[in-house]
A and B are shown apart, each in its own frame.
Chain A
Amino acid sequence: MKRKAFIEKTAKTLCELCAVVAIFAVCAITIYMFMKGAPALKEVGVFDLLFKTIWKPTASEPSYGIGFIILASVVGTTTALILGVPIGLLAAVYISEMAGKTTGNIVRTAIELLAAIPSVIYGLIGMMVLNPIMFRFEQIIFEDDSSHQFTGGANMLSAIIVLTIMILPTVISVSTSSLKAVSDTLRAASLALGATKEQTIFKAVIPAAKSGILTGVVLGTGRALGEAMAITMVAGGAVNIPLPFNSVRTLTTQIVSEMGYAQGTHRQVLFTVGLVLYIFIMIVNYALLRARKAGIDDVD
């Protein structure tokens, strides 16, 4: 009997320990990101580091301004959301409101598979398909402009398109489930009042599902901010102001491209870039919590 009690107790304690791993992991990551990212802020100066825009880490008089890098991440993510959310929402409307069983399943499966494709494959296709097209546009647009630095198509626009595609699965799947959760009585009531199917969808169903859709948008924001490999491959290799045809670096691609060889202060600054990204993600996480909570309140 004693042995049994011992086993019971050990099992409970072990499970408890397993559960605490997640807390430890989050604490350790947070502490490490701050510990590694803070020194450069002190060394270079908060303003010089975050708001100056000249990035010359290996020059004899190095300059570590990551302003354009932060800006590129913000602009890239925002634009990808502006493009991706409407497309994703409309596709979700199709799956939830208009599709038959078979066609709905086909679209849903396609979206699941899109979500499962590794980001390096998106990057590779971006390099081989998107960049040459962009280069064509670039050649036409900047034909007579000698001040433009040609990028071979690896530019902000390519990055935005790849990001848009990569956030679609997240936006679509979360929006679909929140649209499906809207009660059928709402649809019936709207139709009975003489609204057309489209009016019902856009004036009744989507507003009712808005907090769920918002959750999808916030998740998509996190995905776009954090995506690293695919954009490293398509966005080019120079720090520039994030204009459509400029080669740009974002927070993530900056780390991927330079962490391999960076030394001293340069390396510390890259950790600060990581810290900035981490803080952005924490803000997104907080927003997510709020969006979820709003969703629960709606149901109540």
Chain B
Amino acid sequence: MMSISRRKFIDCILRFLIYICSTFSVLLLLGIIGYVLIRGISEVNITFITSVTSVLKGTVGIAGNIVNTLLIILITMIIATPIGVGSAIYLNEYARPGRVVTAIEYATETLTGIPSIIFGLFGMTFFGEKLGLGYSLLTGSLTLILMVLPLITRNTQEALKTVPSSYRNGAIGLGSGKWHMIRTILLPSAMPGIITGAILAIGRIVGESAALLFTAGSAKLLPKGISGFLAKPFQSGGTLTIQMYLSATSEGDFETAFGIAVVLLIIVLAINLATKVLTKRFDVTRKE
């Protein structure tokens, strides 16, 4: 039998370790944010955001990378959102439990676990080489669609599950067709969940680098005019993360790297805040 004082001593140590470990995680976050801000905030100004790095003009800027990032987000989300939502609707509303559903759910799960570098290799060989899209924003976006699909499907499914079945029965009972019911009753009720999933997906895209390195390339010039923007998806373009990686490694330009890090951190924090607010509102509407 352990003596009481010894027991107390062990408890004390355990409690101490628990406090240390949780404090460590908080300090880690504060340390990372603080360090990046201190090193990078002085780099971020209007010129940095709105111009392109040019030796001729003597400017350092990331406007091209911002445009590339936005274009990739746009193309990816325009394609991935309908597919993800449609897939969730099928799984939740149409499908009967069975082999097909198990296979789809297992595939979605598997996609979540595949590392981004594998997506990058696949995108490079399939979209880039097989389909002949080369290093382009489109290749990058098509690759990212596969990556964010599970995120959107899962969140939409969760949201659909919270819609009470009385809504469904009520609409069907009043003579509505199934699709009409889904479109007018289910999707609006599930909208906060769908939007949360979409925002999380955007966050994933903003932070992604390994899947884009060999698919979207690293060009950083701004497209010129409307025709330039229209042609841009078929051209190479580096996102913020890619430029940051190149600045910190092959270019050895740590000022720019930290400047981009600040921009990335701000975007990521904003996205997290947005999902938090949305989830909270979602919960409130559910309780009513």
Contact = CB atoms under 8 A, between A and B. Distances in A.
A113 B29 contact: yes
Interface stretch (B57-65, B190-198, B221-229, B242-250): B242-250
A192 interface: no
Nearest to B2: A199
B131 to A, nearest CB: 12
Contact of A198 (B11, B32, B91, B124): B11
Interface in A1-58: 4, 7-8, 11-12, 14-23, 25-26, 28-29, 32-33, 36
Given A124-B257, A226-B115, A271-B121, A285 B90 contact: no
A117 B32 contact: yes
Interface string B67-106: 0000000000000001111110111011100000001101
B125 A32 contact: yes
A176 B108 CA distance: 24
B255 to A, nearest CB: 12
B47 to A, nearest CB: 22
B125 A21 contact: no
Interface in A165-199: 165, 168, 172, 196-199
Contact of B111 (A25, A32, A95, A128): A25
Nearest to A218: B113
Interface stretch (B48-56, B161-169, B204-212, B280-288): B204-212
Nearest to A88: B21
B18 to A, nearest CB: 5
Interface string B106-137: 11111101111111011011100000000000
A123 interface: yes
A21 B25 contact: no
Contacts of A99: 22
B87 A125 contact: no
Interface stretch (A61-69, A133-141, A142-150, A274-282): A274-282
A168 B24 CA distance: 11
A260 B149 CA distance: 27
Contact of A252 (B94, B115, B149): B115
Interface string B10-38: 11001101111110111011101001100
A113 to B, nearest CB: 6
A16 B113 contact: no
A252 B117 contact: yes
Given A222-B115, A229-B209, A198 B245 contact: no
Contact of B117 (A25, A129, A197, A226): A226
Chain A interface category by residue count: 35 or more
A121 B264 contact: yes
Contacts of A260: 213-214
A269 interface: no
Contacts of A128: 35, 39, 254
B126 A28 contact: yes
A296 interface: no
B268 interface: yes
A236 to B, nearest CB: 12
Given A21-B83, A36-B121, A123 B22 contact: no
A108 B116 CA distance: 26
Contacts of A32: 121-122, 125-126
A124 B261 contact: yes
Interface of B: 7, 10-11, 14-15, 17-22, 24-26, 28-30, 32, 35-36, 39, 82-87, 89-91, 93-95, 103-104, 106-111, 113-119, 121-122, 124-126, 146, 149-150, 153, 177-179, 182, 203, 206-210, 213-214, 241, 244-245, 248-249, 254, 257-258, 261, 264-265, 268-269, 271-272
Given A15-B89, A256-B117, 15 more contacts: A11-B178, A22-B153, A23-B103, A32-B125, A107-B22, A110-B26, A114-B28, A128-B254, A202-B14, A226-B114, A226-B115, A229-B213, A233-B248, A259-B121, A288-B109
